[in-house]
């Protein structure tokens, strides 16, 4: 199947449209630009695209759709194919098929990882991570074989919100990190006998990684890397090998955090936002025992995924975080120095943006968050 391509002209939003980006008591003022420094080509449409991942060596684009399907796109021909072997998902609310990543040794082993929401007893639900093998017998057909669940959120709870379920491997390829959202079960977050509201560190087979902060204290406590998280929809290592997460706050307080082993990031005790009913939440500045964010937003940006950019096509962006904004319908560019973040620019995309990935040549692939949302290719 081929789709026509077309170029779009984009303008960056001005400062007034950005709200305030806060880090502690400082305000990061984004740079207003008259024109976005990229061209955009559309490569097809997808239903509720959630994650985008590029296959090593081939550069083929794999896209998960929240309803429980996965597609692949050949960027050279525009041909779109289907991926089979997807597990049954608990679709609804924020639940469904979520992240998809390639193992560090994928070229040799064909191993891939999927995350999704799954049903449990009594209507309860929870996130799961599976490990399988990807085989593509033809350009338009792939399958995930021998898929096995290697990790689950514990406990399963009611509701269909805030699973998170982003995944990433450490730069040395030894450890799998998974973002586990609070599932709106906030009483669990500051307790360590569960893995809700946590970032966990696992071996590639899903076992608790040796040397975790609470190793030896039983499962799932021994999985925990950091605590006090709400709904991390971004999880990435930067170019220096530091791990960061990108979280949805409540009414305000979206944030980026530098993740340090054993640290507590404060949710739900503190936030730079407030509850949806208007009741206040103490700010990070009032509880210095918690690790404060590098940058937070109020009003929210409603982030999807993010990347740290290599600088290949846009050298001035090197090492900066490029964030997919859903409510803001924008790409947001943030520089991070130490543990301080500054919003540099915001580019109006005209649609909710769920995620993005960088190609080998430094161009970007971006997915829209909608039924019939587009895959966009950003080039210089």
String of DSSP letters for 50-111: EEEEEPTTT--EEEEETTTEEEEE-TTT--EEEEE-PPP---BTTBSEEEEEE-TTHHHH-E
* 3-state class (DSSP) for residue 122: helix
**Domain coverage including residue 294:** 7-379
Q: pLDDT class for 36, splitting at 50, 70, 90?
A: confident
CATH number, domain containing residue 132? 2.120.10.30
pLDDT tens column, 131-163: 999 999 988 999 999 999 999 999 999 999 999
Does residue 251 lie in a domain region? yes
Please check the confidence at residue 5 and state whether its pLDDT lies above 90: no
> pLDDT-based confidence at 195, cuts 50/70/90?
very high
Please check whether residue 2 lies inside any domain of the structure: no
- The reported pLDDT for the residue numbered 63 is 98
103 within domain boundaries:
yes
Is residue 121 situated within a structural domain? yes
Residue 104 counted as domain residue: yes
1 belongs to a structural domain: no
110 exposed, middle or buried (CB, 10 Å; 0-12, 13-18, 19+)?
middle
Between 277 and 8, name the one with better pLDDT: 277
Handedness of CA 56, 61, 65, 66 (dihedral sign): positive
The whole-number pLDDT of residue 1 equals 32
Is 327 among the domain residues?
Answer: yes
- Decide if 20 is inside a domain: yes
What's the domain count of the chain? 1
């Amino acid at each position: 199947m081929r789709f026509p391509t077309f170029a779009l002209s984009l303008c960056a939003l001005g400062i007034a449209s950005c709200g305030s980006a806060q880090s502690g008591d400082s305000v990061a003022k984004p740079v207003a630009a008259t024109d976005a420094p990229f061209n955009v080509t559309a490569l097809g449409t997808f239903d509720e695209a959630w994650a985008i991942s590029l296959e090593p060596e081939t550069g083929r684009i794999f896209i998960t759709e929240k309803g429980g399907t996965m597609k692949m796109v050949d960027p050279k021909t525009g041909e779109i194919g289907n991926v089979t072997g997807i597990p049954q998902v608990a679709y609804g609310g924020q639940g469904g098929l979520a992240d998809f990543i390639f193992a560090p040794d994928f070229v040799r082993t064909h191993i891939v990882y999927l995350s999704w929401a799954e049903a449990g007893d009594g209507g309860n639900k929870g996130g799961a991570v599976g490990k399988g093998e990807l085989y593509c017998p033809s350009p338009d057909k792939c399958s995930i074989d021998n898929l096995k669940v290697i990790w689950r959120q514990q406990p399963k709870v009611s509701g269909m919100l805030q699973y998170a379920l982003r995944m990433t491997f450490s730069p040395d390829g030894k450890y799998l990190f998974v973002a586990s959202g609070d599932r709106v079960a906030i009483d669990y977050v500051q307790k360590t006998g569960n893995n809700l509201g946590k970032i966990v560190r696992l071996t590639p087979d899903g076992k608790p990684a040796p040397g975790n902060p609470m190793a030896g204290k039983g499962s799932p406590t021994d999985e925990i890397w950091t605590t006090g998280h709400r709904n991390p929809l971004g999880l990435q290592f930067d170019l220096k090998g530091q791990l960061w997460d990108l979280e949805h706050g409540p009414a305000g307080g979206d944030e980026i955090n530098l993740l340090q082993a054993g640290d507590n990031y404060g949710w739900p005790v503190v936030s730079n936002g407030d509850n949806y009913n208007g009741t206040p939440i103490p700010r990070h500045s009032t509880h210095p025992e918690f690790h404060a964010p590098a940058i937070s937003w109020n009003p929210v940006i409603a982030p999807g995924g993010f990347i740290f950019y290599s600088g290949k096509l846009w050298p001035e962006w090197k090492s900066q975080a490029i964030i997919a904004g859903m409510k803001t319908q924008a790409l947001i560019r943030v520089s991070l120095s130490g543990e301080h973040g500054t919003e540099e620019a915001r580019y109006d995309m005209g649609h909710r943006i769920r995620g993005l990935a960088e190609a080998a040549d430094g161009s970007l692939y971006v997915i829209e968050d909608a039924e019939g949302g587009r895959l966009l290719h950003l080039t210089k």
